[in-house]
Amino acid sequence: MEIDVTALGSGLTAIGAGLAIGLAAVGTGLAQGRIGAAGAGVIAEKPEALGTMILLIAIPETMVILGFAVAAMLLLLGG
């Protein structure tokens, strides 16, 4: 029995790309949930902090963008 190395490499590349975007999305969701809950309390006490809280909620979103970039590089350049 002979193993097709190119098919195995393509499959592992696809799994790596899926993990890159999936785990980044899960981490971002957890972070945004905690930041959003804390932000609701802050805005209730100090409404002038709305702009700061919007910025803090947007920052973890860069992790998903980087996960997408890694996944795209794996799929396009990984072979």
SS3 labels along 12-61: HHHHHHHHHHHHHHHHHHHHHHHHHHHHHHHHHHCHHHHHHHHHHHHCCH
Whether 42 maps to a domain, the answer reads yes
Dihedral sign from CA coordinates of 66, 68, 74, 77? negative
Tally of domains within the chain: 1
If you average pLDDT over every residue of the chain, what do you get? 91
pTM: 0.79
Give a yes or no: residue 12 inside a domain.
no
The verdict on residue 11 lying in a domain is no
pLDDT at 68: 95
- Structural domain includes residue 59: yes
Please list, in sequence order, all residues whose beta carbon lies within 8 angstroms of the beta carbon of residue 75, skipping any fewer than 6 positions away.
13, 14, 17
So what's the pLDDT on residue 65?
A: 94
Domain boundaries, position 32: 19-77
Maximum pairwise Cα distance, the chain: 69
pLDDT tens per residue across span 9-45: 888 999 999 999 999 999 999 999 999 999 999 999 9
44 within a domain of the structure (yes/no): yes
